[in-house]
Structure 1
C-alpha cells in the first residue's frame, strides 16, 4: 500500500501498511534518528505474507513526518510514545502487536507501561531496559562504537558527507563479525537522505531528555514479550537483552549469534518466523 500522511493530534506523521487490515496488526517502531525505511520493505512483506497487517512509520524529524528546526525539537520522548498510539488511531486499531528496535524498543516498553490497552504483545530488538538508570549498571557500548560517535566528522549541509557518515555508522552497527553489504547500505542511506524533509533534523532525537523514560518497573509489563538480541551488538551488548528478559515477567530471549544492532537481512529467516509465532497467539485467551 502507498504511504499516507496522518495528522491526528495535529502532528503530521507518514506511515505505510502492508497486508490485509483484517489480519492481526503489527506496529513496527524504529530507533532514534531513523526513518521507517530502516524496516526494510522486504522484511515488512515477509511478515505480511505470514498473515499480519504490518505498519511502519516515520518518527518526527525523520522521513516525511513533521520536521522541526535542527537543534530545536518541539516535542519530548513522551510525545514519540504518543505518536505510536496516534498511528494506531489513524488505522482504527484499538491495539496491536508492537515490535521495537533500539530506541524504538524503549518506546515500545513505555507504550506497554503507559497504554497497556494498546499493546497485545511486545517484541524488543537490540534494546535495553527503558527505566531510569537501568542501563548504567550494564555493559557499556564497545570502545570502537564510542570512538566513532565521539570522533566522527560530518558536514550536515553536504549530502555526500552525510551519506559517507551514515554508511560508516551502518557498518559499525553491523558488529564486525559478518560480511557487510556496503552496496545495500548505500542504497538505503541515499533513499533516506533524498526522502527526508531535512535529514539533519534527525539529530534532534539526541536532545530529548531522559525524563521521558517511564517510572513504572518493567515487571508491570503484562503482555507476552520476546526479546531478540545480537551477540555482537556494539551499542547495547548482550547483557542488555538478558536484563530485559529477566525483568519482564515471562519474557523469552532469542540470541542471534554474531548479529549486530538492528534487523539484518541475514537474520530475516530467523527473526520473521519468530515474530510470526510470537504474534500468532491470542494474548487474551
Structure 2
C-alpha cells in the first residue's frame, strides 16, 4: 500500500486504496483539518474484507494534497458573517471528490463522509448524482443554523486554538480536543490519538489549511431543501453523545433525505471508536447493498 497522487478538479489529491479494484468501490471522506490517516488502516482493511474496494484521501489543504497557502489563513468568523470570501467552498471540495472518482476510472462509488466529510459527501451527491451509488453521512449536519450546534466548551476550544510551535505541541492540542469530543460510552483511545497526531504532523502540519476549511464550512448555505433531491439509498449515523455536532444535526439530515435510515449509536461522540467499527461497517455495508440493488433496477420507459 502506497500513497498515490492524481489530478482532480484542477488540484492534486493524495489517496490510498485497500482491497481488490474489482470489488464495489467505497470512497471515505474525512473531516475538518484531518488527514486520511484518521480513517484508520484497520478500519479500511476490515471494510475491504467485506468485499469493498476502499479509497481514502487527503482533502485539499491537508496531508499530501494541494494546499492553498497563497490564500493566507482562513477567516471563519468573517466568512460566516459574509465579511470575507473563503478561499474555496464546500462545493469545490465536493467537486474534488467527484474528480477523484473519475480520475480512478470508476463509474461511481458508494460515499461515506464523517463530520465535514459528510457535508462534502452531501454536496457531492447533489452536484454529481451520477457518481454516487449510496450515501452514508456520519456525525454530520445540514448546514442549518438551529441544528448540530457544538457544546460551548468545544466551540471555545476550537476558536481559541493557536498553531503549535512543534510536534509535541501539535500532539497536545489534538489530545486536548479529543478529551472534549471523544465517545464517553467507549474506552479512551488516547494513545492511538497521540500516535495518529504524530504521524499527521510528520506528513504535513498546516494549521492554516484547517482554518481555510473551517471558513468553507461556515460560509456554506443551509442544504436542507436541496437534500430533498437526494435519490440514492442513504444512511445517516450519529452518536447520541456527540458534543461537536450534536444529535439534532444527524436527525435533521435524515429528515431532509427522503427514505433515509437514521441510526443512533449510544455513547458515541465525535470520533470513530474502535469498538464501534463492526457496527459502522455493518451499516455501511448494508447501505452499499441497497445502493447496488437500486443501481441494478431497470429504468422504466417514459
TM-score clears 0.5:
yes
Output the TM-score relative to the length of structure 2: 0.86
Query: Unpaired segments of 5 or more residues in structure 1?
Result: none
Residue 189 of structure 1 corresponds to: 197
Superposition map of 1:185-224 within 5 A: 185-196=193-204, 198-208=206-216, 210-213=218-221, 217-224=226-233
Output the TM-score relative to the length of structure 1: 0.91
Distance 1:181 1:209 in 2: 27
Residue 49 of structure 2 corresponds to: 49
Deviation at 1:35, TM superposition (A): 0.9
Q: CA RMSD in A?
A: 2.0
Distance 1:245 1:155 in 2: 36
The superposition leaves residues 165-184 of structure 1 with CA deviations (integer Å, 9 ceiling, x where unpaired) of 01111222214443321111
Contact 2:164–2:173 (8 Å) recurs in 1: no
Residue 274 of structure 1 corresponds to: 283
Higher mean C-alpha displacement, 158-167 vs 53-62: 158-167
Q: 1:158 to 1:74 in 2, by over 3 A?
A: same
Deviation at 1:254, TM superposition (A): 1.0
Structure 2 residue corresponding to 1:168, chosen from 148, 173, 176 = 176
Distance 1:144 1:199 in 2: 20
Q: Secondary structure at the match of 1:208?
A: helix
Query: Unpaired segments of 5 or more residues in structure 2?
Result: 75-85, 298-302
The superposition leaves residues 77-125 of structure 1 with CA deviations (integer Å, 9 ceiling, x where unpaired) of 2221111011101210121100000011011111111111111000000
Say if 2:73 is the partner of 1:86: no
Contact 1:128–1:240 (8 Å) recurs in 2: yes
Higher mean C-alpha displacement, 192-201 vs 164-173: 192-201
Q: Secondary structure at the match of 1:64?
A: coil
Residue 254 of structure 1 corresponds to: 263
Distance 1:230 1:15 in 2: 27
Contact 1:175–1:234 (8 Å) recurs in 2: no
Residue 71 of structure 1 corresponds to: 73
Aligned residues: 280
Distance 2:8 2:235 in 1: 30
Higher mean C-alpha displacement, 47-56 vs 61-70: 61-70
Distance 2:187 2:9 in 1: 44
Distance 1:143 1:105 in 2: 22
Q: Secondary structure at the match of 1:79?
A: helix
